[in-house]
Chain A
Amino acid sequence: MSPPRPSAVLSGAHFMDGNHAACEGAIAAGANFAAGYPITPSTEIVERFAARAPLVGATFLQMEDELASSIAILGAAWGGAKAFTVTSGPGFSLMMEHIGFAAMTETPSVFVNVQRGGPSTGLPTLPAQADMMQARWGSHGDYEIIALCPNSPQECFNLMIDAFNFSEQYRNPVLLMMDESVGHMTEKVVIPPADQINIFPRRHTSKAPSEYLPFKPASDDVPEMARVGEGYRFHVTGLTHDEHGYPSMEWQTQQALVGRLVGKIRAHADDLTRTEEKQLEDAEIVLVAYGISSRVALWALQEAREEGLRVGLLRPIVVWPFPEKRIRELAQRVNAFVVVELNYGQMVREVERAAAGRARTILVPHAGGAVHPPESIVKVLREVGSWA
């Protein structure tokens, strides 16, 4: 496939929604293959990609279901493409097996989930953030995942590029965990000139086929990839495999492989961690929120500050790996974490685990279908403030 061309990047200022911005982010990142299946509220991303693909040297295929979409992109990735798929709700459930396959075979790939209310068909047109633990643990077996949560159309663009870069750097599936509100929110999006966009290139091997072992890691635990069709004659399997890529049903091979798959992400958790922090310097109460909820939480923060409560905000931008080190540091000096998320308690478990009893952790839950009324958050902040 032809490499992405600078003319593909729509540099300039735009007024666009998060879904369209995510699509442009993918194109700017050099994505030249997408497969998808229509599902609300994510469909606009592939609709735009379907229109843009033939103009920018990319390929889009609407597949027969999400199972097909989520593995067609992995075939394309091994074929040399930078590939992504997009889904929501039930479609994300159907893609779980291939997130695991991508993790096991170390296939660079980006999966976008524009979250809607669930379980099951739930609320197709309305927001939720209730797939966060599914994002982390949804495929069977042990693996690590990288997931990013944008809270604006601009960030949908930016984080899509980051998602591709992380997937290439770590050879791991990367999830862009949007939500319906961010996906359908229209704001200013500035797309930089193509030459100012950093792209992490595919880690192609320079070794000769005779010296190359497809799953022998380099110094950072990530193996180099061979190009298909160039005589490497490599084997890729979802079975537990050795450095040759050959199946091996030995516990030692399992330990070496899964240990490395998990380790290559855990060892770089600090490099991956990215948060936005507001008014934490003197904070006694820390709001923890991501995606659309972080914008509602910011409103509540400002209200609470006006009332004299010393409240700050920690927004995980990279949600997996979870910024547990930062939570641990803050837990030494703050009284409480107030976690605002559109679910009945998912990331709050991570906050509570990292705080380890050194600060109280309170959840402001919401079943989804709308965002939190800011007042419901302020009410909790007042109450937590009164405990001091």
Chain B
Amino acid sequence: MGVMVPFNPVEPFLRSERMPHIWCSGCGIGTTVNCFARALAESKLPLDKVAIVSGIGCTGRVAGYLNLDSFHTTHGRAIPFATGLKLANPELTVVVYSGDGDLIAIGGNHFIHAARRNVDIKVICINNFIYGMTGGQVAPTTPVGATATTAPYGCFERPFNLPYLAESSGAVYVARWTAYHVRYIAHSMADALRKKGFSFIEILAPCPTLYQRRNKLGDGLETMRYYKQHSVIRHGANTRDVNLHFQGEITLGKFVDIERPTLQQTMEQRFRQVLRDRYAG
């Protein structure tokens, strides 16, 4: 009779048989998954009623590693898939977990419209400033001056400020963290899981294989140290002012936490008001 083997608290949330995962040494995605597992535990949501939707890319692989009903969709389209899933099955908590290229470049249109509608989904965006899965191409988040395989002389396009984009599009919850700020991430994710409406969490994470190495920024650990030293937490900061610059100061915090009726609620209110007892909802 051996002793009972204690388990990593993240293990019940993982498809353990699929480990080890594909992410590189020093990649921050796995760290955020740890935080997500703790947030799920903290939220006390019944896990059978939590569905996770990813797009394509390194972060797009999160869905396949989580022991939930999970959907690995097409590039950029996790949000509209999640919109259909949530509207068809409102009792689900639907989480979109994907990368900056997937959500903001190819999927940017869906991102702003889902925020505008206030679809009740939680969007977690792992921002590593680059396309990882395809080998290090420039993204709409790449800071000016950083190089990428398709910006070999440095990026010359202004990147999106994602919290500002999310807030101005209509998100009811907006926060930004780095992969170093694990306890903040976990609490923020738990906040978002409780929140009704379009919630957005940006998490900066190292891509040591492509972004950091190409830009001579060291490995994942050095990037984590950078995050530790150069981040400032300013809850409630005006999202206009939280732009990121190449190796500049990083403003973190919970920027937006407001109440606004969700798409489902506005839809039902409208039909009930206009159709009265003819509404079959």
- Residues of chain A whose beta carbon lies under 8 Å from any beta carbon of chain B: 1-2, 5, 32-33, 35, 54-57, 59, 61, 63-65, 67-69, 71-81, 83, 97-98, 101, 228-239, 246-247
- How close is B249's CB to chain A, nearest CB, in angstroms? 34
Is there contact, CB below 8 Å, between A59 and B275?
no
Closest to A232 in B: B69
- Cβ–Cβ < 8 Å partners of B73 in chain A: 71, 74-75, 101, 238
Interface 9-mer from B81-89, B122-130, B144-152 = B81-89
Closest to B52 in A: A235
Contact A229/B69 with A1-B89, A74-B84 known, Cβ cut-off 8 Å: yes
Report the Cα distance A233→B82, complex, angstroms: 16
Contact A247/B64 with A75-B83, A79-B84, A98-B77 known, Cβ cut-off 8 Å: yes
- B280 is an interface residue with CB less than 8 A from chain A: yes
Report the Cα distance A230→B38, complex, angstroms: 22
Can you spell out 5 A-B residue pairs with CB atoms less than 8 angstroms apart? A69-B80, A71-B81, A72-B81, A75-B83, A229-B48
Is there contact, CB below 8 Å, between B280 and A72?
no
- How close is A101's CB to chain B, nearest CB, in angstroms? 5
Of the candidates B64, B80, B110, B271, the one having the most CB atoms from chain A within 10 angstroms of its own CB is B80
- Cβ–Cβ < 8 Å partners of A64 in chain B: 80, 109-110, 113
Is there contact, CB below 8 Å, between B84 and A101?
no
- Residues of chain B whose beta carbon lies under 8 Å from any beta carbon of chain A: 15, 18, 48-49, 51, 53, 63-64, 67-74, 76-77, 80-89, 91-92, 109-110, 113, 267, 271, 275, 278-281
- Contact among B68, B80, B86, B281 with A67 in the assembled complex (CB-CB below 8 Å): B80
- Contact among A65, A71, A235 with B74 in the assembled complex (CB-CB below 8 Å): A71
Is there contact, CB below 8 Å, between A75 and B71?
yes
- Cβ–Cβ < 8 Å partners of B71 in chain A: 75, 78, 235-237
Is there contact, CB below 8 Å, between A55 and B280?
yes
Is there contact, CB below 8 Å, between A80 and B83?
no
Report the Cα distance A63→B77, complex, angstroms: 12
- Cβ–Cβ < 8 Å partners of B18 in chain A: 246
- How close is B171's CB to chain A, nearest CB, in angstroms? 16
Contact A234/B69 with A54-B275, A83-B84, A246-B18 known, Cβ cut-off 8 Å: yes
- Cβ–Cβ < 8 Å partners of A233 in chain B: 48, 67-70
- Cβ–Cβ < 8 Å partners of B89 in chain A: 1, 79-81, 228-229
- Contact among B51, B80, B280 with A63 in the assembled complex (CB-CB below 8 Å): B80
- Cβ–Cβ < 8 Å partners of B67 in chain A: 233
Report the Cα distance A98→B55, complex, angstroms: 13
Of the candidates A56, A67, A235, the one having the most CB atoms from chain B within 10 angstroms of its own CB is A235
Is there contact, CB below 8 Å, between A57 and B85?
no
Report the Cα distance A201→B53, complex, angstroms: 26
9 closest Cβ pairs, A-B complex: A75-B84, A79-B88, A72-B84, A79-B89, A76-B84, A68-B80, A75-B81, A237-B72, A75-B85
Closest to B84 in A: A75
Report the Cα distance A63→B79, complex, angstroms: 11
Report the Cα distance A290→B67, complex, angstroms: 48
Report the Cα distance A247→B65, complex, angstroms: 11
Given contacts A33-B88, A71-B74, A236-B70, 13 further A-B contacts (CB under 8 A): A33-B84, A33-B87, A54-B281, A64-B80, A72-B83, A75-B81, A79-B89, A81-B84, A229-B92, A231-B48, A235-B71, A237-B64, A247-B72
Closest to B70 in A: A235
- How close is B62's CB to chain A, nearest CB, in angstroms? 11
- How close is B60's CB to chain A, nearest CB, in angstroms? 9
- Cβ–Cβ < 8 Å partners of B74 in chain A: 71, 97-98, 101, 238
Closest to B64 in A: A235
Closest to B278 in A: A55
- How close is B22's CB to chain A, nearest CB, in angstroms? 9
Is there contact, CB below 8 Å, between B80 and A59?
no
- Cβ–Cβ < 8 Å partners of B72 in chain A: 235-239, 247
- How close is B92's CB to chain A, nearest CB, in angstroms? 5
Is there contact, CB below 8 Å, between B87 and A76?
yes
- How close is A277's CB to chain B, nearest CB, in angstroms? 40
Is there contact, CB below 8 Å, between B88 and A71?
no
Report the Cα distance A80→B49, complex, angstroms: 13
Is there contact, CB below 8 Å, between B85 and A79?
yes
Is there contact, CB below 8 Å, between A61 and B69?
no
Report the Cα distance A162→B81, complex, angstroms: 25
Is there contact, CB below 8 Å, between B88 and A55?
no
Contact A57/B280 with A98-B74, A229-B49, A238-B72 known, Cβ cut-off 8 Å: yes
Is there contact, CB below 8 Å, between A71 and B77?
yes
- How close is A29's CB to chain B, nearest CB, in angstroms? 16
- How close is B49's CB to chain A, nearest CB, in angstroms? 5
- Cβ–Cβ < 8 Å partners of B64 in chain A: 235, 237, 246-247
- How close is A309's CB to chain B, nearest CB, in angstroms? 51
- Contact among A79, A234, A239 with B86 in the assembled complex (CB-CB below 8 Å): A79
- Cβ–Cβ < 8 Å partners of A75 in chain B: 53, 71, 73, 80-86, 88
- Cβ–Cβ < 8 Å partners of A57 in chain B: 280-281
Contact A229/B77 with A55-B275, A57-B281, A236-B71 known, Cβ cut-off 8 Å: no
Contact A65/B109 with A228-B69, A236-B70 known, Cβ cut-off 8 Å: yes
Report the Cα distance A69→B79, complex, angstroms: 11
Report the Cα distance A107→B1, complex, angstroms: 47
Contact A68/B281 with A79-B85, A233-B67 known, Cβ cut-off 8 Å: no
Is there contact, CB below 8 Å, between B281 and A61?
no
Report the Cα distance A381→B52, complex, angstroms: 59
- How close is A258's CB to chain B, nearest CB, in angstroms? 18
Closest to B93 in A: A229
Is there contact, CB below 8 Å, between B87 and A61?
yes
Report the Cα distance A235→B18, complex, angstroms: 12
Is there contact, CB below 8 Å, between B49 and A76?
no
Closest to B54 in A: A237
Report the Cα distance A92→B18, complex, angstroms: 37
Is there contact, CB below 8 Å, between A228 and B51?
yes
